[in-house]
Amino acid sequence: MPQHGNYLDDIDVEPLSVYVMHEKAERKFPMHSHHKGQLTFVEGGIAYCNFPDRSLVIPARHYIWIPSQMEHYMVIRHSRSTTTRNLYFYSQDDDSHPFYNKMGIYPVNDLLLNMITYSAKWKEHVLPGDAGFRFLASLKDILPDVSTAAIPIGLPTTRHERLLPVLQYLAAHFDQNLTLESVSSHFGISERTLSRLFTNILEMSFVQYLKMLRVVKGIEMMLQTNQNLSEIAYQTGYGSIAAFSKVFYQLTNKRPSVFLQGIH
């Protein structure tokens, strides 16, 4: 797929380099891919990474690893607090570990945070033999060791003509008491048909999708508002913080309170 924009054209010019770009500006690019593996760290605020089949939310103090050749585009919401740090790594050794060939979102520990921050010393291509290359190569080398638990906080997407309006409806009414019965009735289709649409197209049940949607919306509220967890639980359709916390833990393996501490 042809590349677009200024720095996107330049990333793959030097196949053996690490391309470094740190920015606060919001950029809008179409779906694209690189020959290099991409690490995008969200220092503050919130960002989204969209793929042909799903959309992922990247919270503050987390990074996403996007393997080479994987189509995607990033969306950064308007926020003074949102800064992304982007490192594009040579891919000729990616088969040395399964990590490099699998997309994932990971929390950043203090060691990795310091290394990513330190990489701001360089800009654009850093080639073998250049000052900083060995440091950046070491950063890539430690990723499989420090990134063992990917956080599955993303929503599948579709352009299916029958299911897309349903997903749009859920996104607009996620705080309400939604059930398979009520939603199927709203769209004038049977519960069995709606259930099959979710299972066959999104490969998850209606209930699983709704849980994921509410957790994603909860994370957005944690990052973009000053609401406490009780308020967020209520506004994501749960009657108590305990119910919200239970679902949040099921999907992220963290309690919301612990997750909130990690992003501030």
User: What is the CATH number for 222?
Assistant: 1.10.10.60
Whether 46 and 173 share a structural domain: no
Helices (H), ranges, 59-146: 110-118, 133-146
Q: Among 80, 113, 146, where does a domain finish?
A: 146
pLDDT at position 124 over 50: yes
Place 4 in a pLDDT band, splitting at 50, 70 and 90: very low
Say how far residue 94 (Cα) sits from the centre of its chain.
Answer: 21
In a domain, 213, yes or no: yes
Answer yes or no: is 154 within a domain.
Answer: no
∠ CA 182-183-185, rounded to 5°: 65
Range of the domain at 255: 159-262
- Mapped onto helix, strand or coil, the DSSP state of residue 72 is strand
Residue 6 has pLDDT above 70, yes or no: no
Does the pLDDT value for residue 256 go beyond 60? Answer: yes
Residue type, 33: S
Strand pairing category for 54-59 and 154-156? antiparallel
Structure tokens at 75: 């969306």
Domain-located, residue 139: yes
pLDDT in tens, 206-240: 999 999 899 988 888 887 778 899 999 999 999 89
64 and 112 co-located in one domain: yes
Q: Which pLDDT does position 125 carry in this prediction?
A: 96
**Does 95 share its domain with 167?**
no
Q: Encode pLDDT of 184-209 as tens digits.
A: 999 999 999 999 999 999 888 999 99
User: Based on the domain organization, do 106 and 172 belong to the same domain?
Assistant: no
Q: Is residue 226 assigned to a domain? A: yes
- Same domain? For 99 and 219 the reply is no
Residues paired with residue 89 on neighbouring β-strands, in sequence order: 37
Residue indicated by tokens 């993303």: 154
What are the phi and psi torsion angles at 57 (to 5°)?
Answer: -95, 135
